[in-house]
Amino acid sequence: MLQLPKRPQPPKMLVSVEESYERCRQITQKYSKTFYLGTLLMPSEKRRAIWAIYVWCRRTDELVDGPQAKYTTPETLQQWQDHLQCLFKGNPIDDEDVALVDTLQRFPVEIKPFEDMIAGQHMDLHRNRYETFEDLKLYCYRVAGTVGLMSNAVLGVEKQPSIGPWNKQLENYIPKEEAIALGIANQLTNILRDVGEDAQRGRIYLPLEDLDRFNYTETDLFKGVIDDRWRELMAFQIRRARQYYKDAERGIRILSRDSRWPVWAALMLYQGILDVIEANDYDVFNQRAFVRTPKKMVYLPIAWLRAQVL
Ligand SMILES: CC(C)=CCC/C(C)=C/CC/C(C)=C/CC/C(C)=C/[C@@H]1[C@@H](COP(=O)(O)OP(=O)(O)O)[C@]1(C)CC/C=C(\C)CC/C=C(\C)CCC=C(C)C
Ligand SMILES: Nc1ncnc2c1ncn2[C@@H]1O[C@H](COP(=O)(O)OP(=O)(O)OP(=O)(O)O)[C@@H](O)[C@H]1O
Ligand SMILES: [Mn+2]
């Protein structure tokens, strides 16, 4: 369902805008319980726009992470880049595009974050190790920080009151850094949750400089060794991810009022995965860390309160 057309296709009838949004809703619901739940807390025009963006991101991710990933080459990514150009010119190519083209008209956004995400997929194609955290941070910006920038256009900002001529800049402040920070925090969480799964594919996203610092080797990682070196290494990574969540938090109060609850909810639900990793004694090799549905329901009113008062 999420594959690209193999060859340029003759023009075909595409589904209606409504039908396309409905498909995007279904795909979001199927692939991400957390973000889908977050979108249910939004007004409907914003919610469907996020579904359309989600589907484009998911399709991009599937090119290097999905079942057909072994057939993906730099040329495939170039084709996807050309496909993107068409969308920004207002020309949908397949049924899922129809909703995104509509979204881009309602919520104009730059093409750059979309292009940067494709560059992130190039990184996945060419490398399976990251020497330093700086290297990894660039990857995280590209595959996830960019989602923050795309989402910002839909979430919108509340006009900030002007306190005086000296803070004119604040009046038009767009919380880009904070949106990127939330994307990076999510991606770091995702990496910690998926260490075992990624190792099975020969991939290590944890910076090698950090493995060294805690005297933990690649061989240990491939064997799934859980000892004090591993626990300290993971505790360090979790502290770092939490710092990015903290940095993101101050951006939420700048967003439109009707976007604050969904973003707080998505932030708390995804951050909750870190607590589960700790509760599992850092075993990310033999069990998947996820937040159970009753716990998710507990987060929602707390997120609502934060959206009102913070
Ligand atoms: C409710 C809400 C606001 C949602 C935004 C939803 C959205 C557009 C999500 C797209 C996510 C996506 C498919 C990205 C593709 C790359 C990828 C897979 C990234 C990982 C996501 C986790 O997904 P999942 O758990 O399903 O991963 P698996 O494939 O199962 O392994 C990521 C970790 C990145 C997601 C990044 C974000 C959602 C960015 C968040 C930032 C904002 C919404 C900006 C908020 C604004 C301020 C000012 C703080
Ligand atoms: N709330 C839950 N209750 C029971 N099992 C769950 C729950 N969340 C996840 N799982 C299990 O973990 C698998 C995948 O988890 P994952 O967290 O990636 O789900 P997801 O739909 O991608 O949501 P998310 O957006 O949180 O990543 C599910 O197929 C299921 O087996
Ligand atoms: Mn998932």
Summarised one tens digit per residue, pLDDT across range 227-284 is 999 999 999 999 999 999 999 999 999 999 999 999 999 999 999 999 999 999 999 9
pLDDT at 182 over 60: yes
**Angle (CA) 232 237 239, round 5°:** 95
CATH assignment, 16-115:
1.10.600.10
Q: Whose CA is nearest to atom 4 of ligand 1?
A: 35
| Residue 159: per-residue pLDDT | 82
Q: Is 150 helix (H, G, I), strand (E, B) or coil?
A: helix
219-250: buried (b, 16+ CB within 10 Å) or exposed (e) per residue? ebbeeeebeebbeebbeebbeebbebbebbbe
**How does the average pLDDT of the chain come out, rounded?**
94
Question: Which among 32, 147, 174, 267 is the best mutation to test ligand 1's pocket, defined by most ligand atoms within 8 Å of the CB?
Answer: 147
DSSP code per residue over 287-305: S-----HHHHHHHHHHHHH
| Residue 1: per-residue pLDDT | 47
The crossing angle, in degrees rounded to 10, of helices 44-65 and 17-31 is: 60
CATH assignment, 127-158+173-309:
1.10.600.10
- Rounded CA-CA distance 121/137 in Å is 14
Sign of CA dihedral 170, 108, 146, 290: positive
Quote the ligand 1 centre to 262 CA distance (angstroms).
13
| Residue 75: per-residue pLDDT | 95
Cβ 103 under 6 angstroms from ligand 1? no
| Residue 29: per-residue pLDDT | 98
Cα–Cα nearest to 256, from 161, 158, 175: 158
What is the number of the ligand 1 atom nearest to the C-alpha of 176? 48
Quote the ligand 2 centre to 293 CA distance (angstroms).
9
Q: Roughly how many angstroms between the first and final C-alpha of the chain, as a whole number?
A: 41
Decide if 16-115 and 127-158+173-309 have a common fold: yes
Cβ 35 under 6 angstroms from ligand 2? yes
Banded model confidence at residue 172, pLDDT cuts 50, 70, 90: confident
Banded model confidence at residue 189, pLDDT cuts 50, 70, 90: very high
Q: List, for residues 235-246, the tens digit of each pLDDT value.
A: 999 999 999 999
Domain-wise residue ranges, the chain: 16-115, 127-158+173-309
Q: Please tell me which residue, 4 or 61, carries the higher pLDDT value.
A: 61
Tokens of 295: 């716990």
Question: Which residue(s) pair with 255 in the sheet?
Answer: 157
What is the number of the ligand 1 atom nearest to the C-alpha of 186? 33
Cβ 34 under 6 angstroms from ligand 2? yes
Quote the ligand 2 centre to 290 CA distance (angstroms).
6
Question: Which among 21, 31, 34, 35 is the best mutation to test ligand 1's pocket, defined by most ligand atoms within 8 Å of the CB?
Answer: 35
ipTM here: 0.85
- Rounded CA-CA distance 136/230 in Å is 19
Rg of the chain on CA atoms, in Å: 20
Q: Are 26 and 91 in contact (CB under 8 A)?
A: no
